């Protein structure tokens, strides 16, 4: 129906009716558009084969680097002098580029998927503070571990143990290259001897070579089988660890401290609330780590929330009674470790090893005061993850942990006779990752898409206002198009 055929009343109905429709659509776009589009994005996030999340999960696109620091024991010959503390100098970092691949991916009808992580490490000399040929002196873990097991044996048995230890490669410390300590490994006479014995004292020794990460580089089965939720039914469960090697409890710590939960750090729950914690499961230490919000920051133009560990992260009930279950049963109730270090001997085949922040940051001074030469650096020793909360995308990561060995004197074991009790730092791991500019562009685009609904709604609303304004102007100025013939005749004819 053309204007020449419309009456003034019909013209007003068309103009103001169109303005009303556009106004309603515009307001809907402004009020509901962003949330509707965000809901559409969230429906695309669950982990499924061929989905948008799958490729980035199966092969991590963000470059990850593992910066390893070793600790060189510089005064090994002086520790038996009364009052002399062992001195350890932090050496490195030895930086390795890390590639993560997931093997044996299996999907289950209960909205879970299992996989076996495979990691490869490639040395980056230009990023490192030393070479892999650096000579480093460290405590001899096999000797300390075996001596710790023998500590409570009857004295007559310890005499024979001491003879065997001294005759078959036992030592308080050894010197090897950084490469040998880390991945390459070295032949160990005492391990060879223990492997041949294979009794209750030595345990099941499977190799006569030693390294902190022996046979780890490229291994497809070292870390075990992880089963996580895909988020297909409940997005708030996406990436949450349900089983490790088929069970929901590690068995290494009691009660809640041994429960399998949190993220494997490859996938995080989206739409996170500002006050929510992040929980990460760390296979190497058989426990979870909680990180709490500490503030907001901007990475590559994306606003994120920074989550950090806190002073009671490595507590055993001193600061937080809920963490009493991290205390070894044999030390309860009055001999639990002081706050700042977790006793992980149950996860380390009985070796008296402790997990803490590097340099015993936040820990009781009694740990760091047993040695000299090492100090915590709050800038690089803090454990944090900066995350964009809406999509659950990590922007900046620094997973910093230190593994130490508790060495104690023993009058019946000559290698340990006359030494002080101390916590020897063995190595520090800083797993570092930062979002790349290309991936940041994708994240920013996904975050800005909901604004399209908002801006479209604003545009339609403005058009509605414009049309209504024109209608009001024409009405006030009496400039509606005069129809042909008598208006009543036209109306009757129609």
- Give 183-194 pLDDT, tens digit per residue: 999 999 999 988
Q: What is the mean pLDDT of residues 143-166?
A: 90
Report the candidate in 395, 398, 383 with the shortest Cα–Cα distance to residue 291.
Answer: 383
pTM, rounded to two decimals: 0.84
User: Among 17-26, 191-200, 321-330, which stretch is predicted with the lowest mean pLDDT?
Assistant: 17-26
Q: Report CA 354 to chain centroid distance, whole Å.
A: 19
Is 60 exceeded by the pLDDT of residue 349? yes
User: Among 160-164, 197-201, 418-422, which stretch is predicted with the lowest mean pLDDT?
Assistant: 197-201
Q: What is the DSSP letter of 358?
A: G
% residues pLDDT > 70 (the chain): 84
* The pLDDT value given to residue 184: 94
Is 90 exceeded by the pLDDT of residue 427? yes
**Residue 27 backbone dihedrals phi, psi, to 5 degrees:** -65, -40
pLDDT in tens, 432-447: 999 999 989 988 888 8
Place of tokens 């809907």: 28
Residue of higher predicted confidence among 345 and 19: 345
User: Which tokens belong to 3?
Assistant: 């204007």
**Which band of pLDDT confidence, cut at 50, 70 and 90, is reported for residue 381?**
confident
Tell me the DSSP string of 375-444: ---TTTS--EEEEETTTTEEEEEEEEEEEEEEE---TTSGGGTTPPPEEEEEEEEEEEEE--HHHHHHHH
Q: Tell me what the pLDDT averaged over the chain comes to.
A: 86
Is 90 exceeded by the pLDDT of residue 464? no
Is 90 exceeded by the pLDDT of residue 471? no
- Upper half-sphere CA count for residue 203 (Cβ side, 13 Å): 15
**Which band of pLDDT confidence, cut at 50, 70 and 90, is reported for residue 450?**
low
Residue ranges of domains in the chain: 22-61+447-460, 62-435
pLDDT in tens, 43-88: 778 888 888 788 888 888 889 999 999 999 999 989 888 889 999 9
Per DSSP, the three-state class of 94 is: strand
Residues 449 and 65: their CA atoms lie apart, in Å, by 32
Ranked by mean pLDDT, the top range of 17-21, 51-55, 150-154 is: 150-154
Q: What is the DSSP letter of 320?
A: -
Q: What is the mean pLDDT of residues 158-171?
A: 91
Residues 408 and 360: their CA atoms lie apart, in Å, by 19
Residue 177: how many CB atoms within 10 A of its CB?
A: 15
Q: What is the mean pLDDT of residues 382-408?
A: 93
* The pLDDT value given to residue 4: 58
pLDDT in tens, 354-365: 999 999 999 999
Q: Do 101 and 442 touch, CB atoms closer than 8 A?
A: no
Residue of higher predicted confidence among 19 and 90: 90
* The pLDDT value given to residue 269: 87
Residues 300 and 396: their CA atoms lie apart, in Å, by 10
* The pLDDT value given to residue 82: 85
- The string over 256-281, giving b where at least 16 C-beta atoms fall within 10 Å of a residue's C-beta and e elsewhere, is ebbbbebbbbbbbbbebeeeeebbbb
Tell me the DSSP string of 7-71: -HHHHHHHHHHHHHHHHHHHHHHHHHHHHHHHHHHHHH-S--TTSHHHHHHHB--S-EEEEEEEE
Q: Do 71 and 86 touch, CB atoms closer than 8 A?
A: no
Q: What is the mean pLDDT of residues 342-352?
A: 88
User: Among 12-16, 75-79, 169-173, 485-489, which stretch is predicted with the lowest mean pLDDT?
Assistant: 485-489
Residue of higher predicted confidence among 204 and 173: 173
Contacts of the segment 316-320: beta carbons below 8 A, 24+ positions apart = 316/342, 316/343, 318/364
* The pLDDT value given to residue 397: 94
Beta bridge partners of 249: 259
Q: What is the mean pLDDT of residues 148-176?
A: 91
User: Which tokens belong to 81?
Assistant: 């002098």
User: Which tokens belong to 386?
Assistant: 């900066």
In this structure, are strands 241-244 and 278-282 parallel, antiparallel, or unpaired? unpaired
Residue of higher predicted confidence among 95 and 283: 95
Residues 370 and 372: their CA atoms lie apart, in Å, by 7
**Which band of pLDDT confidence, cut at 50, 70 and 90, is reported for residue 271?**
confident
Residues 484 and 310: their CA atoms lie apart, in Å, by 82
Report the candidate in 12, 13, 17, 2 with the shortest Cα–Cα distance to residue 464.
Answer: 17
User: Which tokens belong to 12?
Assistant: 């007003």
């Amino acid at each position: 129906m053309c204007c020449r055929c419309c009456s003034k009343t019909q013209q007003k109905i068309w103009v103001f009716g169109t303005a009303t429709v556009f106004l309603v659509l515009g307001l809907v776009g402004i009020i509901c558009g962003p949330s509707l589009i965000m809901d559409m994005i969230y429906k695309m996030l669950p982990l499924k084969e061929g989905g948008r999340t799958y490729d980035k999960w199966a092969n991590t696109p963000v470059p990850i680097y593992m910066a390893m620091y070793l600790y060189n024991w510089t005064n090994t010959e002086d520790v038996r002098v009364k009052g002399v503390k062992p001195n350890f100098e932090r050496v490195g970092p030895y930086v390795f580029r890390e590639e993560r691949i997931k093997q044996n991916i299996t999907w289950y009808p209960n909205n879970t998927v299992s996989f076996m992580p495979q990691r490869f490490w490639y040395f980056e000399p230009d990023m490192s503070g030393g070479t892999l040929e650096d000579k480093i002196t460290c405590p001899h873990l096999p000797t300390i571990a075996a001596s710790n097991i023998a500590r409570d044996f009857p004295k007559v048995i310890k005499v024979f143990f001491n003879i065997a230890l001294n005759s078959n490669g036992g030592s308080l410390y050894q010197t090897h290259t950084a490469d040998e300590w880390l991945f390459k490994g070295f032949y160990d006479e005492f391990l060879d001897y223990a492997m041949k014995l294979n009794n209750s004292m030595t345990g099941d020794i499977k190799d006569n070579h030693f390294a902190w990460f022996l046979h780890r580089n490229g291994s497809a089965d070292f870390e075990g089988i992880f089963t996580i939720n895909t988020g297909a039914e409940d997005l708030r469960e996406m990436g949450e660890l349900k089983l490790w090697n088929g069970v929901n409890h590690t068995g290494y710590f009691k009660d809640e401290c041994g429960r399998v939960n949190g993220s494997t750090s490859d996938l995080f729950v989206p739409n996170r609330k500002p006050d929510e914690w992040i929980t990460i499961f760390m296979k190497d230490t058989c426990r979870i780590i909680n990180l709490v919000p500490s503030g907001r920051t901007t990475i590559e133009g994306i606003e994120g929330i920074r989550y950090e560990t806190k002073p009671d992260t490595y507590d055993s009930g001193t600061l937080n009674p809920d963490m009493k279950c991290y205390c070894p049963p044999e030390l309860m109730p009055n001999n639990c470790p002081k706050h700042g270090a977790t006793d992980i001997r149950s996860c380390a085949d009985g070796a008296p090893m402790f997990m803490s922040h590097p340099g015993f940051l936040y820990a009781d001074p009694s740990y760091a005061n047993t040695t000299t030469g090492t100090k915590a650096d709050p800038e690089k020793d803090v454990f944090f993850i900066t995350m964009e909360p809406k999509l659950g995308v990590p922007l900046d990561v620094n997973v910093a942990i230190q593994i130490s060995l508790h060495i104690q004197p023993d009058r019946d074991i000559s290698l340990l006779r006359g030494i002080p009790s101390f916590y020897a730092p063995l190595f520090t791991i800083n797993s570092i990752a930062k979002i790349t500019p290309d991936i940041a562009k994708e994240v920013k685009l996904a975050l800005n898409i909901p604004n399209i609904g908002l801006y479209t709604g604003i545009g339609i609303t403005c058009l509605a206002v414009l049309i209504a304004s024109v209608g009001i102007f024409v009405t006030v100025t009496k400039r509606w198009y005069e129809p042909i013939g008598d208006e009543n005749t036209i109306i009757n004819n129609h």
